[in-house]
Amino acid sequence: MEDLKFDLDKLREMKQKCSDLLDGENGIVTTQNKLKESLEQLKIDWGTAAGEKFFSDLEMDWDQEVAQCKKYVTAVSELLDVAIDKYGEVEIEANNLKIF
What is the tens place of the pLDDT at every residue in 30-56? 888 888 899 889 988 998 999 888 888
pLDDT given for residue 57 in this prediction: 82
The full set of domain ranges for the chain reads: 8-96
DSSP assignment, residue 48?
S
CB atoms within 10 A of CB 4: 12
Burial class of residue 38 in the structure, from the number of CB atoms within 10 Å of its CB (0-12 exposed, 13-18 middle, 19+ buried): exposed
What is the tens place of the pLDDT at every residue in 47-87? 899 988 888 887 777 788 888 999 999 999 999 999 999 99
Smallest CA-to-CA distance from 18 within 78, 65, 63 is with: 78
Rounded CA gap, 30 and 34, in Å? Answer: 6
